[in-house]
Amino acid sequence: MTEPSPPGRAWLAQELIWILGSLLIGLLLLPGIIYIVGSQLFGIYKGSSIGMGAFYSDYAHDLASSHISAWILAVGPLLLIYMLRLILGMLPNGIDPVHKLFTLLSKKEATCQDQTSASS
């Protein structure tokens, strides 16, 4: 039988998954979405026949050159996750942030419905 891992390791593994996932979204997925939306709104990127490849090449160059806009895009999803955790008061303590968010929203909706029914 194997020993159960300490709670600290499980938390660390979960955090590493969140960090890796959000960085992959910021480095790979968001630039692609920006390219697709931009090409629909503004046309071909820099008149290049390479298209998305040229966009990703420029993005990698901007990251290597420390352009703040490229780094905001890369770490934006991670920063958003941590800002939501701070706002909702849920830095890793066992509470599911999505559950708490829906609970807060449903309480607010119930309050609004009570006020509406009381005023009629």
Give the pLDDT band (50/70/90) at residue 118. Answer: low
Q: Cα–Cα distance between 50 and 39 in angstroms, integer?
A: 13
Residues 6+ apart with CB under 8 A from 63: 70, 71, 74
Q: Report pLDDT digits (tens) over 48-77.
A: 667 888 889 999 999 999 999 999 999 999
In this prediction, residue 120 carries a pLDDT of 59
Q: How far is CA 82 from the centre of its chain?
A: 9
Which DSSP symbol is given to 4?
P
In this prediction, residue 73 carries a pLDDT of 94
In this prediction, residue 52 carries a pLDDT of 86
Q: What are the residue ranges spanned by the domains of the chain?
A: 8-88, 96-120
- pTM, two decimal places: 0.62
Give the pLDDT band (50/70/90) at residue 26. Answer: very high
Give the pLDDT band (50/70/90) at residue 32. Answer: very high
In this prediction, residue 91 carries a pLDDT of 53
Q: Report pLDDT digits (tens) over 73-111.
A: 999 999 998 888 777 775 556 666 666 677 777 876 667
